[in-house]
Amino acid sequence: MNTGRIHAPGIGASVALALVMSMTAESAHAENPELSFVLDGFFKSEDSALSEQGKGFGLGHTELSLSGAVDDLFSGRLTTVLESHEGDTELDIEEAFFDTVALPYGLGIRAGRFLSQVGYLNSRHTHADSFTERPALYRAFLGSHYFDDGVRLAGLMPVPFFWQLGVEAFNGTALAGGEADPAIGVFTLKSTWGGDLSDASSWQAGVSYLRNRLDAVQEVVEEDADEDGHDHSHDAAYSGENMYLLDFVWKWAPQGNARNSQLTLSGEYLYVDELGDFAQDSDVHKGWYASSVYRFHSQWSAGIRYGEVNLKAAHGDHFHDQSLRETEVMLGWMRSHFSQLRLQYTLQDAEGFEDANDTLSLQYVMTLGAHGAHEF
Distance, in Å, from the CA atom of 12 to the CA atom of 18, rounded to the nearest integer, reads 10
Distance, in Å, from the CA atom of 6 to the CA atom of 194, rounded to the nearest integer, reads 39
Minimal CA–CA distance to 168: which of 184, 192, 145, 144?
184
pLDDT of residue 31 exceeding 70, the answer is: no
What is the mean predicted confidence (pLDDT) over 342-355? 96
Distance, in Å, from the CA atom of 212 to the CA atom of 3, rounded to the nearest integer, reads 17
Of residues 64 and 373, the one with the higher pLDDT is 64
**Three-state DSSP string of the chain:** CCCCCEECCCHHHHHHHHHHHHHHHHHHHHHCCEEEEEEEEEEECCCCCCCCCCCEEEECCEEEEEEEECCCCEEEEEEEEEEEECCEEEEEEEEEEEEECCCCCCEEEEEEEEECCCCCCCCCCHHHCCCCCCCHHHHHHCCCCCEEEEEEEEEECCCCCEEEEEEEEECCHHHHCCCCCCCCCEEEEEEEEEEECCCCEEEEEEEEEEEECCCCCCECCHHHHHHHCCCCCCCCCCCCCEEEEEEEEEEECHHHCCCCCEEEEEEEEEEEECCCCCCCCCCCEEEEEEEEEEEEECCEEEEEEEEEEEEEEEECCEEEEEEEEEEEEEEEEEEECCEEEEEEEEEEEEECCCCCCCEEEEEEEEEEECCCCCCC
Percent of residues, the chain, with pLDDT higher than 70: 83
pLDDT of residue 143 exceeding 70, the answer is: yes
pLDDT of residue 83 exceeding 80, the answer is: no
Mean of all residue pLDDT scores within the chain: 86
Region of poorest pLDDT, from 5-14, 159-168, 184-193, 348-357: 5-14
Distances (CA, A) of 226 to 56, 158, 174, 359: 17, 51, 22, 17
Cβ distance 172 to 185 under 8 Å? Answer: yes
Question: What is the CATH class of 34-219+231-369?
Answer: mainly beta
Cβ distance 44 to 56 under 8 Å? Answer: yes
Of residues 12 and 127, the one with the higher pLDDT is 127
* pLDDT band at 182; cut points 50, 70, 90: confident
Distance, in Å, from the CA atom of 305 to the CA atom of 135, rounded to the nearest integer, reads 8
pLDDT of residue 279 exceeding 60, the answer is: yes
* pLDDT band at 175; cut points 50, 70, 90: confident
**Any idea where the domains of the chain sit in the sequence?**
34-219+231-369
pLDDT score for 179: 59
Please report the sign of the dihedral spanned by the C-alpha atoms of residue 149, residue 312, residue 270, residue 60: negative
Distance, in Å, from the CA atom of 187 to the CA atom of 179, rounded to the nearest integer, reads 16
Cβ distance 152 to 175 under 8 Å? Answer: no
Of residues 121 and 279, the one with the higher pLDDT is 121
* pLDDT band at 82; cut points 50, 70, 90: confident
